[in-house]
Chains A and B, each alone.
Chain A
Amino acid sequence: MSAGADIRSLTIRQVKEGLAAGRFSAVELAREALRFAEAENPKTNAYLHFCPERALAAARRVDEKLARGEDLGPLAGVPVAVKDVILTQGVRTTAGSKLLANYIAPYDATAVIRLEQAGGVILGKTNCDEFAMGSSTENSAFGPVRNPVALDRVPGGSSGGSGASVAQGTAVVALGSDTGGSIRQPASFCGVVGVTPTYGRVSRYGLIAFASSLDHIGPLARNVHDAALLLGVIAGRDASDATSAFAPVPDYTALLDGNVRGARIGLPKEYFRGLASETGDLILAGVERLKQLGCEVREISLPHTEYAIGAYYIICTAEASSNLARYDGVRYTYRSPASATLSDMYRNTRGEGFGAECKRRIMLGTYVLSAGYYDAYYLKAQRVRNLIARDFSEAFKQVDVILTPVSPFPAFKLGEKLDDPLEMYLSDIYTITGSLAGIPCMSVPCGNTAAGLPVGLQILTNHFNEAGMFRLADALERSAGRS
């Protein structure tokens, strides 16, 4: 690849311009991106494995279209990383679990098909917490990911490998999955943009299921434009996922004009109470910048916030215990070697195969669904979920968007919170409320702490208002001196 573009900071727009001007071919770019990513990967462990053959085949298709003068598609030649919970046909897909260490996916996820049809070049699969359960990527069976911004710290989780690859410059954009914050929190910790779209906006066909009423696929990118563009490519109704939404997909990049005058912003008092920290100061400074651009800011209330963690961890563990029942040693690669009976085979396979956090969640989920506890826990949590969703629909009668921190603190050190599961769960407070309501939310970089750790600002908005959310995020990005 010839000079003119630094691969670490490459954007979708620069790839497009480079291809059009003949500065590099898609194959040249793919080769260089693979070489760079493979060389850099030992620093962070962001990728679990690469798929060079698939990447070069995709790049060759782009070059052939280029030669024939055909429409290249919006992601033509763009190097993409895909979280390893998303199926890629013929390529290992492990979900960060020993149980699936040798699993070769038999088909492609719809999001993968769509991004390749748009010309995207998948370089490899990214590390994550086992079955996407965790907030630090320390629960991967294949070793933790290090944050490229500060190598002794976690990248967040569970999409830590996707966040790290985009921050490190080893992918231009990435796909992650989000159940309670697994895209937004790593985006915040790594200083990149991460988007959880409306529930059902992106097909989950081919996403390894964790908690089906909460699971999302979404983009991570180095700027708002690239995240918006990637979401536009993968969004839309898919007959293979009955929960995917029919609503038409607008051009999410169309409104990125910096004009946010008159936008009504709500700051939920429950989120800012007692937030006397560098994180809080940076968030409020970001809000101040938006105010100067003409946004109206007011305090709002989301009164059921303090019940969100309890409701979320009941619902997600219950659904996980059901979804993970399929890993029993019959169909998916790993089977405990020495089991005389079928029942022993199930039990030993699962006991040996799952890591500590998966076991904890399977146990919690089984408990809250078990006879005598279903009403008290699971049904109760679903009722509380309704109250939390209502809080948001009431709020969106008064404001267009809600701004909050993504995480109470920036990236923490590896091992720092691993011994206290409840504390790790409690750190998800700001991201799980939006997940429970199924509304679009995203993390956008909002400055660094004195120690140089990135802090993300969360934007939440009403169902299917992704375009409005991106407009505000883009304005914030511009106000920080980026374009």
Chain B
Amino acid sequence: MKLTEEQVRHVADLANLRLTDEEVARMAGELGEVLTHMEKLNELDTTSVEPMAQVLYEAEETATLREDVERPGLGSQVALASAPSASAEFFKVPKVIER
């Protein structure tokens, strides 16, 4: 299986990832090779098998939600400290709305 460059560009669009033309060409081959290996799973009939989304133990487990008690958050100053661009209370991004 080989992906077309058009398919690679579509997936890169979905992933919000800018790729160079050279990267697109290389990905088409590399992704295709890995996807071909993944198709091996189709040898198995799994119609009666439940999907395993999370590790389940045979051990006894109880409710996994913690009690709903108030805890202090990081605060905006700390949360914004590593932002590339911020004001006192907000992250700043390029303008998205024209006035």
- B11, B18, B43, B84: the one contacting A333 at CB < 8 Å is B84
Q: Do residues A310 and B38 form an inter-chain contact, with CB atoms below 8 A?
A: yes
Known: A345-B93, A363-B27. A384 touches B18 (CB 8 A): no
Q: Is A36 an interface residue (CB 8 A)?
A: no
Contact with A along B69-94 (1 / 0, CB 8 A): 00000100011011111000001011
* CB-defined contacts of B23 to chain A, threshold 8 Å: 359
Residue of B nearest to A464 (CB): B59
The one of B16, B35, B49 in contact with A328, judged by C-beta atoms closer than 8 angstroms, is B16
Q: Which of A322-350 contact B (CB under 8 A)?
A: 325, 328-335, 339-348, 350
Contacting residue for B40 out of A200, A246, A306, A332, CB 8 A: A306
B34 adjacent to A381 (CB under 8 Å): no
Answer yes or no: A103 CB below 8 A from chain B CBs: yes
In the complex, which residues of chain B have a beta carbon less than 8 angstroms from the beta carbon of A385? 51-52
Cβ–Cβ < 8 Å partners of B64 in chain A = 242-243
A210 CB → nearest B CB, Å: 16
> How would residues 16 to 35 of chain B score, 1 for a CB under 8 Å from any chain A CB and 0 otherwise?
11111001000100110111
Contact of B49 among A200, A360, A387 (CB under 8 A): A387
A314 sits at the interface (CB 8 A): yes
Q: Is the CB of B54 within 8 A of A310?
A: no
B86 CB, nearest partner CB in chain A, Å = 9
**Does the CB pair B93–A342 fall under 8 Å?**
yes
Q: Main SS of the interface on chain B?
A: loop
Partner of A386, one of B3, B20, B52: B52
Residues on the B chain within 8 Å of A425, using CB = 34, 37
Question: Are B82 and A245 closer than 8 Å at their CB atoms?
Answer: no
The minimal Cβ–Cβ distance linking B28 to chain A, given in whole angstroms, is 10
**A199 within 8 A of partner (CB):** yes
Contact A313-B31, Cβ < 8 Å, known A243-B54, A359-B17, A366-B15: no
Residues of B near A364 (CB, < 8 A) are: 31, 34-35
A311 at the interface (CB under 8 A from B): yes
Residue of B whose beta carbon sits closest to that of A377: B38
Q: Which residues of B contact A103 (CB under 8 A)?
A: 82
- Distance in Å: Cβ of A316 to nearest Cβ of chain B: 12
> 19 A–B contact pairs at CB < 8 A?
A213-B55, A247-B57, A310-B38, A314-B38, A328-B16, A332-B82, A333-B83, A341-B96, A342-B94, A351-B17, A352-B18, A359-B23, A363-B31, A364-B31, A367-B35, A368-B38, A377-B38, A383-B50, A386-B50
- 10 extra interchain contacts, Cβ-Cβ under 8 A, other than A363-B11, A422-B30? A243-B54, A243-B64, A310-B37, A346-B16, A351-B20, A354-B17, A380-B46, A383-B52, A386-B51, A422-B34
